[in-house]
Structure 1
């Protein structure tokens, strides 16, 4: 069994030396260290540390926040460790230890809670979108033309006072925007919810 240590700090003004010393004292045979934000998904030294793990090896960190930026990130990393048939330990977070039955149980529960949280967020987001649409809130791309511009363009086109190209130049939009609006006819000038501040424009 080989213990692979991983140390990380977020900025150049910090040092990994304290972490490296703690990892060595805990029996790390090899240490990968880097300066990188926890939000980065392409932490090269972490990837190297996981890659060298073999069956029965252990990935060791001083604290969980040195390894992952979120519960989902932690679980993804631990999944990669499990695929390598290796274990994981955190010196500070004693419960996060996949080399013990109790630690594996705790992380399994954590994974279940994270999945439950993800489903709740998805459900709330979906419900919120339905409610917004019911209120007439436009959920599409940013507006290109205001309601008055649409009315002006449709009137000019219907009276033959300007071409679609003329109106596109006047309002500084693509001609395709004017073309689609013309196909919709009067409905394009005052669709439901057009009085809502987020719905006063039409997307390109």
Structure 2
């Protein structure tokens, strides 16, 4: 079992010193650190840290906000960690410690809440779309061509012009013209 540390600060004005000191004191064999916003999904050092995790290893962070910006992001990272057979431990957020049954339970409950929230959002979105449809609102992107332009496309086709030629005339793509019936 290896303890692998991960430290992150958001801006170049911040320093990693305190986090690195805490991770070394916790016994981390190797530490991955970077200066990058947590909003970035592709954080090279985090990706490297996750890739080095093996069965029984523990990824150690000083605080969860150094690892993830949202519950969904945290749960995705924990899933990746556990897929490798490893665990997660936060030094400050003691409840976020998948090396203990309590920490595993809390993260499982958070995962269930996130899943519930996603299903509520999907349900509300579907209801909103249905209400808009019943009210006669057109959903989706506005049409590229007006009804007058669509009629012109049909007329030009009858006159023998091909879709590419018509598209050039109207300043739209050939596929936009080809969808008009």
Q: Which TM-score band (shorter chain)?
A: 0.7 to 0.9
1:37 equivalent in structure 2: 37
Q: Whole-Å Cα distance in 2 between the matches of residues 136 and 82 of structure 1?
A: 48
Is 1:79 the counterpart of 2:90 in the alignment? Answer: no
1:172 equivalent in structure 2: 171
Quickly say closer, same or farther: Cα 1:5–1:147, change in 2 above 3 A.
same
Larger Rg: 1
- TM-score when normalising by structure 1: 0.74
Quickly say closer, same or farther: Cα 1:167–1:136, change in 2 above 3 A.
farther
The 5 A counterparts of 1:1-150 are 1-147=1-147
Task: Please state how far the C-alpha of 1:171 moved relative to its aligned partner.
Answer: 4.3
Quickly say closer, same or farther: Cα 1:175–1:43, change in 2 above 3 A.
closer
Q: Whole-Å Cα distance in 2 between the matches of residues 120 and 95 of structure 1?
A: 26
Task: Please state how far the C-alpha of 1:111 moved relative to its aligned partner.
Answer: 0.8
Gaps in structure 2 of 5+ consecutive residues: none
Moved more, 12-21 or 113-122: 12-21
- TM-score when normalising by structure 2: 0.82
Give per-residue Cα distances to partners, 1:120-147, cap 9 Å, x unaligned.
1111112222222222222233321335
Gaps in structure 1 of 5+ consecutive residues: 184-204
Q: Whole-Å Cα distance in 2 between the matches of residues 68 and 87 of structure 1?
A: 15
Please, what is the CA RMSD of the aligned residues?
2.8
